[in-house]
């Protein structure tokens, strides 16, 4: 059988492409420009979010370091209270009354300077040497190396201190009593009150709102952790963070055309860089997502170290202008260099796919019934004019309905695919064609010289299917098999397509009547 190429009307297609190429090229350029603009916008948005994520990670890292340091102080403080303070000297002889404050303070012992020791200020009479208050004072003084190390590592930290339920406060770095003295108001401040079990029964680390420092170092927030001794609340260790430090954290990683803000969950501002904060409540705002509000793009990112939020407030117009600048070269390049070529290739590819879908079976990938009808007619026409022979083979799957009913339709589809693939491995010459006519019925067109070769070819196909070893408990062999019927048409034959099909079909039924799983050739009425 000669090759039977599918006719394609490429001339008309190319003519249409020529007529419409200019218009389609412009349309494609506009589409590419729009896509480029959208992609540039998305890249800009992604970059904003990525920069914010890095900034959040940086702030979280710094705050987490402070959390860890504060936790270590708490562990040591509770250890010193439970066991014995490692302080080698007693602070009791250096406590002095402060009558004007109705309390007492700690004067510097000999050999100490302001950098080596903070100040203790307390309310009430001097504590006894063996009192609980003195145990806590000794503990607080023993924490001084940790307090000093934190201040040296971060000079922007205003204060580190221990506030005791025994009504005293140990403050580092040291200031004189005349500059700061603990008062009753101190014990109503958030850094102490929120750490108290009455407000913090779980004993977690707490963060205060922004407040004005009593010792005159401006606006700050405080992180505090409660200290307990044998399950009883004794006081709180606190570390102050100046809001100027938070501003510095924002300004060290600037984002172009974007204002940055640290807000508490209720919207109270902690720090800002680049402009005033937007009017929003972070805890009620979608997180990690840029939201358009007029000419602004805003997003909220929660911190992991506490209940703070980083808020981005970006200029949407600047982002749009940058996206336009990035998209314009792409649009021009696409219009002048690739628009027409991409259109032609796309349309030809689409046309090829449509033609393949119209002539091939969707399940098995072999030729379909439409292609069979057309190619059989074309082959018979050639057979009348040229010296060759044509073999038509019909086959179907034995007991396939029972297989489908027992194994399920997905298994049936897979079996048909495997059978089609096996037959294609046999019928792989240039003139061989394999078709699925419908259901479990298939056909093969092949160029074979005589009936003996046809019989051998069909048996080879049947053997290839059996070698797939598709299990079928309802068959005699326990495997799926096929029955084949074939007819050989010689040069000069005037057999019609219908007659050829009928003869091959009778040969197929003869194979069925012979017990299935075999092949029969048509040898006349």
Structure tokens at 39: 């992609």
Structure confidence at residue 468 (pLDDT): 94
Determine the Cα angle at 487 with ends 484 and 491, to 5°. Answer: 150
**DSSP code string of 505-516:** HHHHHHHHHTTS
Do the strands 119-123 and 160-164 form a parallel or antiparallel pair, or are they unpaired? Answer: unpaired
Among 20-34, 160-174, 446-460, name the one with the lowest average pLDDT. Answer: 20-34
3-state SS of 73-94 is HHHHHHHHHHCCCCCCCCCHHH
What average pLDDT does range 438-456 have in this prediction? 93
Structure confidence at residue 13 (pLDDT): 54
Residue with tokens 């405080």: 222
3-state SS of 455-471 is HHHHHHHHHHHHCCCCE
Structure tokens at 480: 């799926």
pLDDT tens per residue across span 255-304: 999 999 999 988 999 999 988 888 889 888 888 888 888 889 999 999 99
Rounded Cα gap, residues 57 and 63, in angstroms = 10
Structure confidence at residue 386 (pLDDT): 76
Residue 11, Cβ density class (10 Å: 0-12 exposed, 13-18 middle, ≥19 buried): exposed
Assign 309 to helix, strand or coil: strand
What average pLDDT does range 428-453 have in this prediction? 92
Structure tokens at 347: 């349309």
Enclosing H/E stretch for 351: helix 339-359
Structure tokens at 302: 């929660």
Rounded Cα gap, residues 138 and 125, in angstroms = 17
Among 163-167, 211-215, 220-224, 239-243, name the one with the lowest average pLDDT. Answer: 211-215
Q: How far apart are the first and last CA of the chain?
A: 25
Share of the chain above pLDDT 90, in %: 63
Rounded Cα gap, residues 117 and 106, in angstroms = 10
Q: Taking a C-beta distance cutoff of 8 angstroms, is the pair 447, 397 a contact? A: no
Determine the Cα angle at 126 with ends 122 and 132, to 5°. Answer: 80
pLDDT tens per residue across span 35-50: 888 888 888 889 988 9
C-alpha 470: how far from its chain's center? 41
Structure tokens at 515: 């017990």
Q: Is the pLDDT of residue 5 over 60?
A: no
Residues 6+ apart with CB under 8 A from 310: 52, 55, 56, 59, 260, 261, 262, 300, 301, 302, 303
Mean pLDDT taken over the chain: 88
Rounded Cα gap, residues 289 and 48, in angstroms = 10
Rounded Cα gap, residues 164 and 399, in angstroms = 90
Structure confidence at residue 523 (pLDDT): 84
pLDDT tens per residue across span 130-140: 999 999 999 99
Phi first, then psi, for residue 6 (nearest 5°) are -75, 130
Q: Is the pLDDT of residue 8 over 50?
A: no
Structure confidence at residue 337 (pLDDT): 57
Residue with tokens 């046309």: 351
What average pLDDT does range 231-238 have in this prediction? 96
Structure confidence at residue 480 (pLDDT): 94
pLDDT tens per residue across span 102-145: 999 999 999 999 889 999 999 999 999 999 999 999 999 999 99
């Amino acid at each position: 059988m000669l090759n039977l190429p599918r006719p394609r009307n490429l001339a008309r297609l190319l003519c249409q492409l020529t007529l419409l190429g200019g218009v389609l090229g412009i349309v494609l350029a506009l589409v590419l420009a729009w896509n480029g603009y959208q992609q540039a916008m998305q890249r800009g948005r992604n970059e904003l979010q990525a920069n914010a994520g890095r900034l959040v990670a940086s702030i979280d890292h710094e705050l987490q370091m402070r959390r860890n340091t504060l936790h270590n102080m708490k562990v040591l403080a509770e250890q010193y209270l439970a066991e014995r303070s490692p302080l080698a000297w007693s602070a009791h002889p250096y406590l002095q009354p402060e009558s004007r404050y109705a309390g007492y303070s700690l004067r510097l012992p000999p050999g100490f300077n302001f950098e080596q020791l903070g100040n203790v200020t307390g309310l009430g009479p001097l504590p006894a040497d063996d009192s609980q208050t003195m145990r806590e004072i000794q503990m607080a003084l023993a924490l001084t190396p940790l307090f000093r190390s934190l201040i040296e590592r971060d000079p922007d930290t205003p204060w580190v201190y221990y506030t005791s339920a025994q009504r005293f406060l140990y403050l580092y770095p040291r200031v004189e009593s005349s500059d700061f003295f603990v008062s009753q108001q101190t014990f109503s401040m958030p850094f102490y009150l929120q750490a108290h079990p009455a407000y913090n029964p779980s004993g977690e680390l707490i963060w205060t709102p922004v407040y004005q420092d009593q010792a005159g170092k401006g606006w700050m927030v405080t992180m505090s952790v409660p200290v307990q001794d044998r399950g009883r609340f004794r006081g709180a260790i606190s570390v102050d963070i100046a809001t100027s430090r938070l501003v510095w954290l924002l300004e060290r990683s600037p984002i172009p055309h974007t204002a940055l803000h640290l807000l508490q969950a209720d919207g109270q501002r902690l720090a800002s860089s680049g402009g005033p904060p937007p009017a929003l409540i972070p805890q009620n705002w979608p997180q990690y997502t840029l939201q358009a509000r007029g000419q602004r793009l805003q997003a909220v990112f929660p911190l992991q170290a506490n209940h703070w939020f980083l808020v981005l407030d970006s200029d949407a117009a600047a982002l749009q202008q940058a996206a336009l600048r990035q998209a314009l070269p792409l649009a021009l390049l696409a219009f002048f260099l690739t628009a027409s070529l991409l259109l032609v290739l796309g349309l030809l590819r689409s046309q090829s796919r449509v033609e393949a879908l119209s002539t091939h079976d969707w399940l098995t990938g072999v030729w379909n019934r439409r292609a069979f009808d057309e190619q059989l007619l074309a082959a018979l026409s050639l057979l009348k004019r040229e010296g060759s022979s044509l073999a038509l083979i019909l086959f179907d799957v034995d007991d396939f309905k029972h297989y489908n009913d027992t194994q399920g339709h997905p298994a049936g589809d897979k079996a048909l695919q495997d059978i089609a693939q096996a037959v294609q491995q046999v019928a792989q010459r240039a003139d061989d064609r394999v078709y699925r006519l419908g259901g479990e019925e298939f056909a093969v067109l092949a160029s074979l010289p005589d009936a003996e070769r046809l019989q051998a070819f069909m048996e080879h196909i049947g053997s290839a299917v059996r070698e797939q070893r598709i299990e079928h408990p309802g068959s005699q062999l326990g495997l799926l098999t096929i029955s084949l019927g074939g007819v050989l048409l010689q040069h000069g034959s005037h057999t019609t397509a219908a007659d050829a099909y009928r003869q091959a079909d009778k040969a197929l039924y003869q194979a069925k009547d012979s017990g299935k799983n075999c092949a029969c050739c048509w040898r006349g009425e």
